[in-house]
Amino acid sequence: MVTLIVILALVVLLVIVFVAIYNNLVTLRNTYKNAYAQIDVQLKRRYDLIPNLVETAKGYLQHERQTLEAVISARNQAFTAAKAAAENPGDPKTMASLAQAEGVLGGALGRLLAVVEQYPNLKANETMSQLMEELTATENKIAFARQFFNDAVLNYKNARERFPNNIIANMFGFQDAAFLEATESEEERKAPKVKF
Residues 105-138: tens digit of each pLDDT: 999 988 888 888 887 777 777 888 888 888 889 9
Residue 194 CA to residue 196 CA, distance in Å, equals: 7
Residue range 142-150: average pLDDT? Answer: 91
Question: What are 23-79's pLDDT values in tens digits?
Answer: 999 999 999 999 999 999 999 999 998 888 888 887 777 767 788 888 999 999 999
CA distances from 38 to 31, 87, 88, 97, 142 (A): 11, 14, 14, 18, 8
Please tell me which residue, 124 or 169, carries the higher pLDDT value: 169
Domain ranges of the chain: 43-178
pLDDT at 84: 92
Residue 18 CA to residue 16 CA, distance in Å, equals: 5
Query: Residues in the chain, how many?
Result: 196
Record the pTM: 0.78
* Residue 26, number of CB atoms within 10 A of its CB: 12
pLDDT at 162: 92
Are the CB atoms for 47 and 78 separated by under 8 Å?
yes
CATH topology of domain 43-178: Four Helix Bundle (Hemerythrin (Met), subunit A) (1.20.120)
Residue 196 CA to residue 185 CA, distance in Å, equals: 26
pLDDT at 125: 78
pLDDT at 40: 92
Residue 195's pLDDT band, with cuts at 50, 70 and 90, is very low
3-state helix, strand, coil in the chain (%, to 5): 80, 0, 20
Choose among 182, 111, 137: nearest CA to 42.
137
Residue 47 CA to residue 194 CA, distance in Å, equals: 34
Arithmetic mean of pLDDT over the chain: 86
Phi-psi region of 91 (alpha: psi -120 to 50; beta: other; left: phi over 0): beta
Residue 2's pLDDT band, with cuts at 50, 70 and 90, is confident
